[in-house]
Structure 1
Amino acid sequence: MNFNVLGPVGVSVHDKQVSLGSARQRAVLSALLLTPGQPVTPEQLTEAVWPRRAPDAAMANLHSYVSNLRRTLEPDRPPRGRDNVLRREAAGYVLAVEPESIDAVRFERLMQEGRRLLVAGMPRKASRPLERALALWRGGAHPEVSDYTLGAQVAARFEELWLLALESYWEAELAEASDTSVIAAELSALSFRFPTRERFSWLLMKALWHSDRRAEAIDTYHRTRRTLADEYGIDPGEQLQKLFRRILCGDLMTERR
């Protein structure tokens, strides 16, 4: 059984998707997956599912959602048998699943492995786990509970990890590429989508530079500088400025990393 939280919550068994019921019921599962293996109180679940104002029948509805999820997650459990996946303990409800069954856990492990290989100077080896991590991303984490404080915090954290994985992947690809024109096209889209993310601009400038598109690399720097000034009143960081100076000098013989 695999649980997906990078994008709309989902459960699959042997690669077959399982129906999770109503939107509120899916929100209950998403909230439990914020802290798998740890107890979540009914009050916390209520706040996650109804972050603005819970109805009078919230607890009754919550019990119904949990009961339905138990039948979904353990369809072969005998009547009155022990709940092994979604248990009720003294401190609250516990979703007892293997960490590796959750796509977010696998994503973070693969991202960290790729980053470690990249920092160690092995970009070719780094590309594979980073590519596998990015393939798991179907959208922002836990959208069902995005208005719940903890859900928003977890989503923001994984958004940052996703951006870091993207930057690391394209850095690894750029380090090994003999033709950087295709990479430049991908990075151009990312740079426009995330205009204040300096690392994308840095990578794009390098890709353009090594594609003999020096003028476009210079234009990328100035566009980023204007955006940072307009949005935050700051100048580009030292790394971006250093690369800009190298491009102005036409220092194409400098190592590419």
Structure 2
Amino acid sequence: MTQRQPQPPQPPTPPSVRIDLLGPLEVRVDGRPVEIRGRLTRALLVRLVLERGRPVPTPRLVSDLWPDHRPTDPHEAMHSFVYALRRALEPARVPRSAPTLLVSEHAGYALRLGEDAADAWRFEAAVQEATRALGADRGVEAVRRLEAALALWRGPALDGFASRAWASRESARLETLRELAQECLREGAR
């Protein structure tokens, strides 16, 4: 009789992550609030979320996080921020196992989130659905979707980050889309 070899433990299922950018930054992992400590660690998280899964080269992240005065070893500082984010976003990940959310890729980093992980993404999708509903003369559905979309807002878009060069355009775009949603809601409610 042959003995079976023990199977290596299966990696845990990636956690469910929600990142709210339509107001002050809020992060939830598996439904629980998670505090992301440190201004630059939070900035790195927001910077990666804005890329929607696309990798950002480390030199670009370094120049974005430290536009004026870089630390002595910015790559070492970046590694410590990445380490802190990985611990916060994947608390059950086995040490030294491959991360599933914040991954190293193409000499940089990418954040692999579900398509509805960020409130800004859900807002944008709901506004697009509402616009289609208005175009198809489904006003009640459009109003419902717009109300739900606008309810996601808790303050200014990218609050605390909008003045950074890498965030200002996206912040302005989201605020413009919010105004459009409010205008469409007024139209649909007539």
TM-score (norm 2): 0.84
121-130 or 77-86, larger mean C-alpha shift: 121-130
Select the structure of larger CA radius of gyration: 1
Q: Which residue of 1 aligns with 2:130?
A: 114
Which of the numbers 136, 148, 151 marks the counterpart of 2:167? 151
Q: Distance in 1 between the 2:62 and 2:156 partners?
A: 22
Q: Which residue of 2 aligns with 1:170?
A: 186
The answer on whether the counterparts of 1:39 and 1:94 sit within 8 Å (CA) in structure 2 is: yes
Q: Which residue of 2 aligns with 1:85?
A: 101
Q: Distance in 2 between the 1:51 and 1:99 partners?
A: 30
Which of the numbers 103, 110, 126 marks the counterpart of 2:142? 126
SS at match of 2:50: coil
Identity %: 38
1:51 matches 2:73: no
The answer on whether the counterparts of 1:3 and 1:12 sit within 8 Å (CA) in structure 2 is: yes
**Deviating runs (4+, > 4 A) in structure 1?**
none
Q: Distance in 1 between the 2:45 and 2:95 partners?
A: 22
Unaligned runs of 5+ in 1: 176-257
The answer on whether the counterparts of 2:57 and 2:106 sit within 8 Å (CA) in structure 1 is: no
Q: Deviations over 1:87-131 (max 9, x none)?
A: 112331011111111111110110111122223222222110000
Q: Which residue of 1 aligns with 2:117?
A: 101
1:21 matches 2:37: yes
Higher RCO (Cα < 8 Å, 6 or more apart): 2
SS at match of 2:116: helix
Q: Which residue of 2 aligns with 1:141?
A: 157
139-148 or 37-46, larger mean C-alpha shift: 139-148
- The alpha-carbon deviation at position 170 of structure 1 amounts to 1.6
CA gap 1:114/1:34 in 2 versus in 1, 3 angstroms: same
Unaligned runs of 5+ in 2: 1-16
The answer on whether the counterparts of 1:126 and 1:172 sit within 8 Å (CA) in structure 2 is: yes
Higher strand share: 2
Q: Which amino acid aligns with 2:133?
A: L
TM-score (norm 1): 0.63
Q: Distance in 2 between the 1:140 and 1:50 partners?
A: 23
Q: Which residue of 2 aligns with 1:74?
A: 90
Q: Distance in 1 between the 2:157 and 2:106 partners?
A: 28
Q: Which amino acid aligns with 2:127?
A: M
- The alpha-carbon deviation at position 43 of structure 1 amounts to 1.9
Which of the numbers 78, 86, 95 marks the counterpart of 1:62? 78
